[in-house]
Structure 1
Amino acid sequence: MSFDWPIRVYYEDTDAGGVVYHARYLHFMERARTEWLRHAGFDQRALAHEAGVIFAVRDLQIDFHRPARLDDVLRVHTEVAEQRRVSFSFDQKIFTDAAADAELLCHARVKVACLNAQSFAPQAIPESISSALAAGAPPL
């Protein structure tokens, strides 16, 4: 299952030279994963309050290829690479949003753990999410 989310680079995302600060790419990826989950029909606030689960980044590997700059429109591609009982591993790529000749700016493998919202102990991914993913969820 994959999902694309557009992001525009704002002044607050850049350094003094107008280049996206490296940590901002993590913000962009976090937003894309949140929107991926929302698009599949799950709201993180409801999951925390009703199902008692939250998601947290457990491991991250990132490779930077080219810089993004102020006012660029980017596309964050999010794809589930692996699903386990208590975690997802995502492949996330950020591209320039020039459709035919989009350039890869960075690529990350992000492992996200499902945790109990109260104790922060690892917890199985809710069956509703696992079932939706197995069934393909809504078309992304």
Structure 2
Amino acid sequence: MMDKQELLGKELSNLYAINKQVNHYFNSCDISFLDEHRQQAIKDYINANTKNEELVAKTLRSLEVNPGNTVDSIVNEIIENLQEICLKKTDNKALDGLGYMMSFNRLVSYHKANVVNIDFILNELEVA
């Protein structure tokens, strides 16, 4: 049976996987078809994500948890949607940008839900 500490390790491992997958995708993604405001929003997210990845890795080491090759299937699916939009751009740049940002918002919301879960368990552990 899993205890709360192990559950925290699993959630942190999942957050680490999300961070890695996001960084991997956006490091090779061309978002130049988006307007400057949206490009900047994505760049800000990537910068925060990179810092978060380092912090989560440090926390996992302190808990002696090895995330291994954890991959989040939901993030994979969202990233596939983002890639598809990039590859199959239409003549309607505004519509492409809108579709891309909708998938991006799903990614950010899912990422945020994972962070909320970690906060929830930390409160349960009375660590936070």
More strand per residue: 1
TM-score when normalising by structure 1: 0.26
Q: Greater RCO between the two (CA within 8 Å, min separation 6)?
A: 2
Give TM-score scaled by structure 2 length.
Answer: 0.28
